[in-house]
Structure 1
Amino acid sequence: MTIVTKLNRNDRHLWDQYVSACAKTTPYHRFAWGQAIEKSYGFEAIYVGAFYYDNLVGVMPLIRMGVPLRQKSLISLPYCDGAGAIADNQEALDALIAFANNDIAKDTQEPVELRNADTTTVDPDTLADGQKVRMLLSLAATPDEQMANFKSKLRSQIRKAEKNGLTSKVIEYNDTDDFAKHVDEFYAVFAGNMHSLGSPVHSKAWFMAVLSGYANNAYMVLVYKDETVVGGGIVLLNNNTASMPWASTNAQYNRLAPNMLLYWTVLSEAITKGAQVFDFGRSTLNEGTYNFKKQWGSQPASLNWARYENGNLVEVVDLGKSTARELLETIWQKLPLWLVNYVGPKVRKFVSL
């Protein structure tokens, strides 16, 4: 018989041991993601485990979040593409989902949102235009083999960045002022790019909480033009998968192709660390970022986000943009950078995407 119960901080090792061994999990399932949300944004993290006798056979991390004075939601998980309930068998999976709806949300009647993400790629011709997908690349055994797998045009674009005088550096987490300085450098580029896209930026404390929580299961890559940081990305590791949830370049230097060197360095380091799959993150089928990621050889995998109300599946969540959101993005782009960097994190914490 499957027993479902809440776990706590004392169970972190057990939780991460399961997550790191399960092929269906993502880096966001790790205990550190929920802890980073609690630490930086103050939302409650709930860790639910399914046991068969004494063996952990499934997990479901949840975050209780919402705008003040409005009903909260239970989300697995905010700020990422894929999480949800993961289990060894259907019985345990059903038990986890039932526990969220019938036990945790029973008294509050909070909706439950599960951001399920497939780990198997599909033929893009079977998908509808505009569908949201995650882009997955099967990695070669060595960086040299991976480079050889690329088309000649892609290899020349990577070499172009190097010929333009760009360099890159892999930065491992450590509790020093130097590491904090590197986070500052990444954040300056990232915040500027988010402003140009019309999107509120995460707080710097959020990135520090993620990096310190993941520790040796994360790394950062910075791209330089001389002494100036012109691009950067943060990578999270779990099992055989590396994911890069955040990456940005300074648009003033895009003619030098910093994005190409950034992604190549990230992929090379992921292979060195033993990753077999690289997750480029969410894209819209056949649109700009999709085509950029596709050129590296990645293939789409479906995102199947579902919403439950009062225990009933009411809809598959639409990941498309709304007209209101597009209007807000346009307004945000016109605000001064100093203002959006101050206000942005206070808004961003309530945006679950």
Structure 2
Amino acid sequence: MHEASLAPVPAQSSTAIAVRSLQGHEHARWDAFVDTCPEATFFHRAGWQTIMEQGFQHDSYFLYAEQEGCIAGVLPLAHLRSRLFGSSLVSLPFCVYGGGAGGGAAVRQALDSAALALARRLGVGHLEYRWREVPENMDASWLQKPLYATFRRPLSPDAEQNLLAIPRKQRAVVRKAIAAGLHSAIDYDIDRFYPIYAASVHRLGTPVFARRHFALLRTVFGGACEILTVYHGQQPQASVLLFYFRDEVLPYYGGGNVVARSTGANDFMYWEAMRRACARGYRLFDFGRSKLGTGAFDFKKNWGFTPQPLPYAYQLVRAKVLPLVNPLNPKYALFIRAWRRLPLPLANLLGPHIVRQLG
């Protein structure tokens, strides 16, 4: 955690706004605000400061605006430094949502001004906000590029209604998996999850996170982070790490083994995440983001979810053009093909050193 040396900012009202850096003893205070802020997401929680610093060794700058002694808005940021991809200040790396949450125009302006001043002081290429929705009266100086969409849908209190809400063809896959005897269980460690997930992303040509990343997520977020594994008999076939926030469930890291596609284990896994969440009183299923034009994007549409474009926004600082660090960039195609050919143990060893630079 790094003090941002921030001073009070004059407000557009009679109440002064002070922008401050989150300190370790203030996590509960920060989270109390996030829990009741309509714009906030799971990725605005203070625990991500620990993930950024202890898990990835990235400097964090979790800023909050204070008015009359109360938090009025929050903006979590982390400094991503990469020899391969340059330097950026992001809200928030490794997270699908971010940007400022809470406050009116004056609070947002105070946080944005502080973030931009910090970005200039750090000498980054760009400042990035991963907004889920465009704020009102967004400053025209922010640049945007369409790349991702998210998929969110309310859950019915009745499990059968949720099953019927899945389009017929996709629902048939789920019913077939149920008839084949697939079942799920909550795991209390990462021993079954990690090998399945690591092998799954390796087949996609993507570097894997370190095992300790998932262990740290479990430690930091406790009961708000859970692992669901799908079995056929005693054989695990698919596994997913879930986040819970207010009345939402977010399947975040998931994968299946080589037989999961033929058995429908991946499909059954997401159905079980829905069914279990519904039974526990959760009312919204967040299927997460996917890149436009990808198989994952089409998969989520096939579940009857409507894509909602994510309005990620950027301010250029030292960079001249927006970065294009994603697997759809043709210059990374050779790397992806080569990565798939690496022996899995070697990919698991090297992957964490690369993925921490991607964000």
TM class by shorter-chain length?
A: 0.7 to 0.9
Matched, 1:48 2:63: yes
Contact (CA 8 Å) 1:61, 1:76: kept in 2 or not?
Answer: yes
Instruction: In structure 1, give the amino acid aligned to 2:150.
Output: R
Aligned partners of 2:267, 2:217: CA distance in 1, in Å? Answer: 25
Native 8 Å contact 2:200 2:257 kept in 1: yes
Structure with the larger RCO, 1 or 2 (CA within 8 Å, 6+ apart) = 1
Change (3 A) 1:266 1:322: same
Preserved CA contact (<8 Å) 1:200 1:344? yes
Aligned to 1:206: 213
Q: CA deviation at 1:134?
A: 0.8
* Pairing partner for 2:129 from 89, 92, 114: 114
Q: 1:136 aligns with which of 143, 152, 170?
A: 152
Aligned counterpart, 2:110? 95
Q: In 1, Cα distance between the equivalents of 2:280 and 2:218?
A: 17
Q: Pick from 123, 147, 166 the counterpart of residue 182 of structure 2.
A: 166
Residue 258 of structure 1: aligned partner: 265
Written as runs of structure 1 = structure 2, the 5 A alignment for 1:262-281 is 262-281=269-288
Mapped to 2, the partners of 1:240 and 1:325 lie a distance apart of 38
In terms of mean alpha carbon deviation, does 323-332 or 71-80 score higher?
A: 71-80
Structure 2: which 5+ residue stretches go unaligned?
1-15, 136-145
Q: Does 1:196 align with 2:203?
A: yes
Aligned-partner residue type, residue 289 of structure 1 = A
**2:315 maps to which residue?**
308
Q: Distance in 2 between matches of 1:89 and 1:345?
A: 39
CA RMSD of aligned residues (A): 2.6
Structure-2 residue corresponding to 1:57? 72
SS at match of 2:96: coil
Q: Does 1:335 align with 2:342?
A: yes
Is 1:13 aligned with 2:28?
Answer: yes
1:32 and 2:39 correspond: no
Q: Does 1:78 align with 2:93?
A: yes
**1:85 and 1:266, CA in 2 relative to 1: closer, same or farther beyond 3 A?**
same
**Which protein is richer in helix relative to its size?**
1
Would you say the 8 A contact 1:77–1:83 is kept in 2?
yes
Q: CA deviation at 1:230?
A: 0.8
Question: Per the alignment, do residues 69 and 278 of structure 1 end up closer, same or farther by CA in structure 2, a change over 3 Å counting?
Answer: closer
- TM-score, normalised to structure 1, is 0.87
With 10-19 and 239-248 compared, the bigger mean Cα shift is at 239-248
SS of residue matched to 1:140? coil
1:47 partner SS: strand
Alpha-carbon contact 1:233-1:248 (below 8 Å) kept: yes
Q: Percent identity between the aligned chains?
A: 25
- C-alpha distance 150-69 of structure 1, shift in aligned 2 (>3 A): closer
Residues 37 and 206 in structure 1, CA contact (< 8 A), matched pair in contact too: no
The alignment's TM-score, normalised by the length of structure 2, stands at 0.85
Note closer, same or farther for the CA distance 1:323–1:232 as it changes in structure 2 (3 Å cut): same
For residues 71 and 313 of structure 1, the distance between their equivalents in structure 2, rounded to whole angstroms, comes to 12
